[in-house]
Structure 1
């Protein structure tokens, strides 16, 4: 298909040609394409009545509920810029996102409204609480706007906040061209779902992976998006069976949980044709075990928020390389570069660089960070890989300190800054360590101030009170000093967590599959 100019045009066309087909579902709540188109048009009318100008930012602090795609595409239809936010964020984190983006409005799910209000205080952002019955009544009183905004392809559509290497969240500015072309490419070359088929929306929609590979791919394909607000293997299998899901996208921890679920044999998952894995490396034995048990092909790939996100994949019809991230997707180029920017020979390790229609416009209002990240048109990912003779890439390490906890990015500096706010902490170093359940777990080595006292549990509680639940260190250990290099820089590579004293003593509550 040719690349459409806007998502609104695609939704309106589906509403015209297949008005009664399901577009979005959550349990017994189903929006047809006609209802979905109507709802987004009412959101656009509401926003314009509020004085929203083209380019104004609107934050969404919502879980995976039908209101997310309705508001997301309603904002785009009105010409606004969507700022998706993790509903688990605390007030201080919300405040940064709102202040940095300059969001005029924030739609916040009623269950997390307190954190949204706390974060909005002093930012000038007005919070609109989203409660199903009240929101439906509000939209019912608005006449649908029949004239969707026609964006320029290079206009910013979404700001996705990512901390990168600095620990300070930056807004990756993704354009309409970035998002639409990546969704079209994902649909045509990877997902290959047909109109009326079903995609499971178990990944968080505030994340680029869930937005492109589930929500926006469903829009492009005319497929049904069936939502799962909180992943558990029981719930996911039940939805696959009930809604005859054809495509599932997930992170490795989800595949581990599904593979190990004892009740899987009793579920009819025969409709499941293809699965997509990203966000972290999928163990080969998990990939093979999943395919054998569920009879669905798993395609592993790679991407980042800054690349909309899909950059490479093991493509359908091509020889798959377990443990590999495959080859670049259509419209995208990848290469390996050394620290000085020169090309790296085949078989040697280099930093992945990406350019193409999927690469962000830049970091929002941050020219220095943009110039450091995009050099001569190539986006520097910070990930190290090798490339074989067939052009397949294989990640070997991360140049960044980022911890990938079950598909959720945890940036050590952000956690360290909170630890340093504790009056008993003199020094802190946050590192990742292997965990069989979530891939990487968060740990913190802490040096206390002379004469001060604090327990690991107290420090964990301090971080939990200030950051999202998935970010706090499950292991905290007190040390007399941290290893340092000749310049005084802390040598994180020399830090390893001691063996746990006993279950729960220093680890904190155990993680659950597919949760944060």
Structure 2
């Protein structure tokens, strides 16, 4: 039996009284979490859920999330995680595309979900702190015995459908199997974070996102350690939690590290228990990494992955030399290489698209065979990311293939320009994008957020970069923003950056 929920049953039997999920003063033991999820599973089955039916979750990082997630899996359903901030039209698309018959919803987001459900017939289950609120299932649906043992599922049966936020077209649902998610959590726990039962992971990353789901929730369930949740990232709250909860492992995206590092309370942070930090989602500026490690006395391990790879594909491992600025080497059970536009291997020293195969690769895109074939034409998943690889197998992201700027026939990778911008003492955040230009085709544009109290002008910043990069690479267009557009994990959304107040 491969059902991912078997991990919860095993952990509840092994360490029943250990705190599994914490949210401020609320603590849930593994036994209590298992019992709550088993009750949800029974209610779903009594309400008509069949094996393979889809159940959406529109929940923030609260204990109800793992209860509904594992309850669905125990019952043999497929989970469809969704961003709670979606509007009715977006929710309706996900309901229709996935065919979700049930949807667990946090009260704050129930109105938008209800508008969508009215069009699709999806049954809403409004949740309280530990799962469905009283009255959401009628008495007859609550009378069955809890489903403590998971419904049997095969290795390649779909466990989760994760919708990817593509740059063009409608989002596609990546089908991740029970074995995809089990093995990837296993690799993350043992090979990267080296998690033990007494560890405490800070759950800042949204659980509806694959990074938080696999590396936060599923690894905690497998190992039986504690996951302390933060429903909405706030650097002051994160700093408080380091000491309050004796956090040993912090998982975040680069903007979270920068926000903590630059917060006025950073000097008061008690990080004496902090052992390992992992970063993913986007490239971390080396200046931010070095400053964070120095200030808080910890090691940051940077890695790489996508929704389609469950997500972890490569990482800087704690038992091998780390190389700042790289995404590390392929994890066990996974292979990575670079290919050109025709699928040929790129020779050493060249730039190519990262191609990945192994136990972590998705089954395919939900109901999209053509898109699946395009993404995995020959058994190797095409990532859309351009990189180089050194002779020790460490990959360095150059940029997204679609983000590359072509200025007068010259290729410019935004990340290279951003790295220089981040070394300027007055620059807090930066995003580099291509700006249409009649003469050059594209010009290099830079959106910049300056630190509070900064004295530098945009011209100063522009000159700083001009002095450090080839003449064709520095940003001819530069503009100031109060903040950069970000996704649900805090990742900067370069594709949403538009020129304003250009100079």
Q: Same fold (TM over 0.5)?
A: yes
Alignment pair present for 1:58 and 2:84: no
The 1:116/1:441 distance shift into structure 2, 3 A limit, reads farther
More off after superposition, 117-126 vs 283-292: 117-126
The 1:134/1:303 distance shift into structure 2, 3 A limit, reads closer
C-alpha displacement of 1:484: 7.7
User: Does structure 1 conserve the Cα–Cα contact (< 8 Å) formed by 2:314 and 2:331?
Assistant: yes
Alignment pair present for 1:335 and 2:332: no
**Matches of 1:16 and 1:391, distance apart in 2:** 40
User: Does structure 1 conserve the Cα–Cα contact (< 8 Å) formed by 2:448 and 2:481?
Assistant: no
The corresponding residue for 1:46 is 43
User: Does structure 2 conserve the Cα–Cα contact (< 8 Å) formed by 1:200 and 1:226?
Assistant: yes
The corresponding residue for 2:463 is none
The 1:222/1:134 distance shift into structure 2, 3 A limit, reads closer
**Matches of 2:34 and 2:327, distance apart in 1:** 36
The 1:164/1:11 distance shift into structure 2, 3 A limit, reads same
The corresponding residue for 2:414 is none
C-alpha displacement of 1:125: 1.2
**Matches of 1:133 and 1:189, distance apart in 2:** 32
C-alpha displacement of 1:132: 3.4
The corresponding residue for 1:82 is 79
C-alpha displacement of 1:108: 1.1
**Matches of 2:485 and 2:379, distance apart in 1:** 41
The corresponding residue for 1:183 is 185
User: Does structure 1 conserve the Cα–Cα contact (< 8 Å) formed by 2:11 and 2:223?
Assistant: no
SS in structure 1 at match of 2:353: strand
Specify which of 255, 259, 277 is matched with residue 275 of structure 1.
277
The corresponding residue for 1:390 is 392
C-alpha displacement of 1:306: 0.3
Specify which of 92, 106, 116 is matched with residue 119 of structure 1.
116
Specify which of 307, 323, 326 is matched with residue 324 of structure 1.
326
The corresponding residue for 2:378 is 376
The 1:498/1:402 distance shift into structure 2, 3 A limit, reads closer
The 1:56/1:401 distance shift into structure 2, 3 A limit, reads farther
Q: How does 1:11-410 map to 2 (within 5 A)?
A: 11-132=8-129, 135=132, 137=134, 141-142=142-143, 143-401=145-403
**Matches of 2:324 and 2:444, distance apart in 1:** 31
The corresponding residue for 1:440 is 431
**Matches of 1:286 and 1:176, distance apart in 2:** 36
Unaligned 5+ residue runs, structure 1?
A: 404-433, 446-481
**Matches of 1:381 and 1:277, distance apart in 2:** 19
How many aligned positions are there? Answer: 438
C-alpha displacement of 1:360: 0.3
**Matches of 1:88 and 1:46, distance apart in 2:** 27
Q: Deviations over 1:422-446 (max 9, x none)?
A: xxxxxxxxxxxx8955553899x8x
Superposed CA RMSD in Å reads 2.8
TM-score (norm 1): 0.79
The runs of at least 4 consecutive aligned structure 1 residues that moved more than 6 Å come to 497-500, 506-509
